[in-house]
Amino acid sequence: MFNKILIANRGEIACRVAATCARLAIKTVAVYSDVDAQAQHVSACDESVHIGGNTPAQSYLNGQRIIEAALATGAQAIHPGYGFLSENADFAQACADAGLVFIGPAPGSIQAMGLKAESKRLMGAAGVPLVPGYHGSDQDPALLQREADAIGYPVLIKASAGGGGRGLRVVNHADEFEAALASCQREAIHSFGSDAVLIEKYVQRPRHIEVQVFGDTHGNYVHLFERDCSVQRRHQKVLEEAPAPGMTGALRAEMGAAAVAAARAVNYVGAGTVEFIVEQQPDGGMTFYFMEMNTRLQVEHPVTEAITGQDLVEWQLRVACGEKLPLQQDQLHITGHAIEARLCAENPDHDFLPSTGTLQVLRWPEGVTFARGAVRVDSGVREGDVISPYYDSMLAKLIVHGANREDALARLDRALAQTQIVGLHSNVQFLRHVLQSPSFAQAQLDTALIPREQARLLHQEKLGLPLAAAAHIASTLVAERALQTTDPFSRRDGWRAYGAVTRRFDLEFHGTPVRANLRYERDGAMHLSVHSADVAMPLDAPATGLTVQGALQFTATAQGLVIEFAERRLTAICHTISHEKGAETHVFSPQAATKIIAIDVFSHAGEAPTQGGRLTAPMPGKVVSFAVQTGDAVKAGQVLAIMEAMKMEHTIAAPADGLVAELLYAPGDQVAEGAELLRLTSALAVTA
C-alpha cells in the first residue's frame, strides 16, 4: 500500500479521499488555490501545497504544478478525485512519466472513452447497444444539420469531450439547430478545449441508469450494480439512488454484463461508470443504450457504497497498488436502498442562479456520520466558510440508507428538514419538494421530471406568513428576555402597571411589506395580529383575508422554540442574522423552512426608488460575451449578454424594448453580483 498520496482536487471529494487514507494510515497532501487557503480539505490532509490563483486554470487544472508538488512532498501517487484533471489522459501520462502512480485508468483507456464519438465506435464493436446517431469526425455545420434532419427531431447535440452535464443541447425543430450548435460548441471549447460534437436521437422520457464497474491489473472485472440518476436539472444530477427502482434481475444482469464488456474493451483498470439511457417500451419492458463511460469515481458513488458495504476509494487505492479486486462478482450483494441528495448553493425560485456568500449557519442532521451509515454527509465546507464563484455550486451530499426505498425516502426528508443553511441561497427546500412529489415518491422517474413538474416544485411556501411572523417575534422576545435583569423597570417584555401596550413590527415576507402588532395584556398574555394588504394567506394559514390574529404563546426547549399562534402549533429553530434592510430571521421546522425580515424603517428613510434602464449581473461571475452593441435596438426577451458562474452559462435578456445606451464591461471581465452590465434607454427613445 502507498505511504503517501497527493489529492489533486478540492472540496468534498478531497475530504472523502482523505478520510479513507486516514483509516488506512496513508499520509495525504492537499493542494489549494488562493481562495482555498483555509478550506476544509486543506485541514483534512497531513500537509498542503499552494498551487496558484483562484481560477481552475491557475490552480487545479495546472497539472505541471501539481506533479511538482507531489514530487516535492514525497508522494508516491496522485488521486485526481472527479472533475478537473480526473479524465485528462495527458495528465495521467505526465504522472507516469514523472514516476508517480495515477490512481485511475491508463491514459489509453481515458482517451478511448473520453471522446464520446470514439467511445461509441468502440462500444458498437464490443456489442454494447447504442443510441442511433452521428458520431463522425466531420464537423461541418451543414453536415451536422443534415445528419440531425435524417435522425429526426428532437435530437441531442453533445460535446464529444464533454461531461458533467455541460456541452449538451436538446433541439426540437430544424430551425433551432444552428443556434443550438453554436451555443453547445462555445460551451464545449471553453469547458473541454474541443468543440467537436456528436448528434443523437433524443429519447423521449428516458431514464438515466448507470453501472459501477471496477477492473484490476490481473484481468478481473466486476460491476457493483446500478444507480438511477434520472432526476436532473439542465443535465445536472439532483437525486441519485441505488438500486434503480423497478429493475428486474434479468435486466440488471444484462446491463451489468454490457458494462463489464465496455470496461474489457478498453482494458480498464480502477473505478469507472458506464452510463445508459433506458427507454420504457409500450409492453412495459425497458430498452437500454450506451451513453458514455466516465473514467473516474462518480459524485454519486456513496449510494453504491451504502448498498454493497464497500469503500470504493479503498478499492481504487488497492487496485492502483497492483492488488487484485477485493471481491469477485458472486461475492457482491445488494442490501437495502440508498438515496443521495446534492446540496447546492443556488436559488431554485430564481432559475437556479448560483449563490455566493458566507455560510453563517451550517448545521447537519441528528445522528449524521461522515462515513457509511444510516445518514451520511460528504462535505467540503464548514460554518463560516465563504462560497466563491470560481468553482461549482455543490456544498455537500446528503446520503441515507434504509431497509427499502420507502424507508430511505422518509429518512432523507427528515434529514433535509434538519439541515440548516443560512447566509446564502440553497436548494434544500426544493429537494424536499421533489422527494414529496407523487412522481418521485411512486418512482415514476425520467430525466424530464423536474422541468415537467416545475410549477409544483418551485415557489412553494408551506410555512406561511402567519407562522413565520410568529416565529420571528417569538425568537426576538426570547433573545430580549435573555438580557433582562430582575429590576421590573428594566424589563423588555412590555409589562405595564396598568392598561395594555402594543408593539409594532415592520416586516418583509418574500419581498412584500407586512405589519405585525403585538399587544401585551396586563395579565401577561400576548395577542398578535399580522396584517398584509398584498400577501394572500398561504396554504397552511389558519384563516383567510388580510389579517390573522390570536394569542401568542411560546416556550424555549432543547428541541427548539415551541410556538402556538392562531390555533397552530410549531416547533422551530430560528437563526437571526444582520441584513442590509434590518434583521433576517431564518425559521426551520419539520414542515418547511422560510425567512422573514424585520425592517429598520429609520435606516431607509428618504431612499429613492430604483431607476429603470439598468441591467445588472444576477450573480458573481465572468462576462462571456455581449450579443448587442451600443446603439442597437432590442426587443423584450432578446438575449443581451452571456455570463458564466460556477461552471454554468447564464443568459441575460432584455426586460423590455429599448435601445442599448452603453456596454460597461468587456468579455472576460469578472463582475460582482449586482454589477451594472449595460444600460438601456426606454422604448420611447427608440421611436423618438
Active-site residue set:
296
Q: b/e string for 78-105 if b means 16 or more Cβ within 10 A? A: bbbbbbbbbbbbebbbbbeeeebbbbbb
Mention every residue, 6+ apart, whose C-beta is less than 8 A from residue 198: 116, 117, 120, 133, 134, 135, 157, 158, 160
For residue 443, the 8-state DSSP code is: T
Element holding 18 (H helix, E strand): helix 11-23
Please state, in angstroms and rounded to a whole number, the distance separating the CA atoms of residues 305 and 324.
19
Element holding 126 (H helix, E strand): none
Query: In this structure, is the dihedral angle defined by the CA atoms of residues 641, 140, 115 and 99, taken in order, positive or negative?
Result: negative
Cα separation values, 472 from 359, 465, 500, 538, Å:
20, 10, 22, 17
Please state, in angstroms and rounded to a whole number, the distance separating the CA atoms of residues 430 and 456.
10
Please state, in angstroms and rounded to a whole number, the distance separating the CA atoms of residues 472 and 479.
11
Mention every residue, 6+ apart, whose C-beta is less than 8 A from residue 323: 216
Beta strand 4-7 pairing with 27-33: parallel
CB-CB neighbours of 333 under 10 Å: 10
Q: Check: CB of residue 659 under 8 Å from CB of residue 681.
A: yes
The dihedral over CA atoms of 357, 360, 364, 369, expressed in degrees to the nearest 10, equals 80
For residue 130, the 8-state DSSP code is: B
Cα separation values, 12 from 83, 377, 379, 658, Å:
12, 9, 4, 45
The dihedral over CA atoms of 438, 156, 91, 25, expressed in degrees to the nearest 10, equals 10
Burial of residue 314 (number of CB atoms within 10 Å: 0-12, 13-18, 19+): middle
Query: In this structure, is the dihedral angle defined by the CA atoms of residues 443, 444, 450 and 453, taken in order, positive or negative?
Result: negative
> For the chain, how big is the Rg over CA atoms in Å?
28
Please state, in angstroms and rounded to a whole number, the distance separating the CA atoms of residues 385 and 169.
34
CB-CB neighbours of 212 under 10 Å: 27
Give the chain's length. Answer: 688
Q: Check: CB of residue 426 under 8 Å from CB of residue 343.
A: yes
Q: Which of 137, 174, 127, 138 is closest to 155 using CA atoms?
A: 174
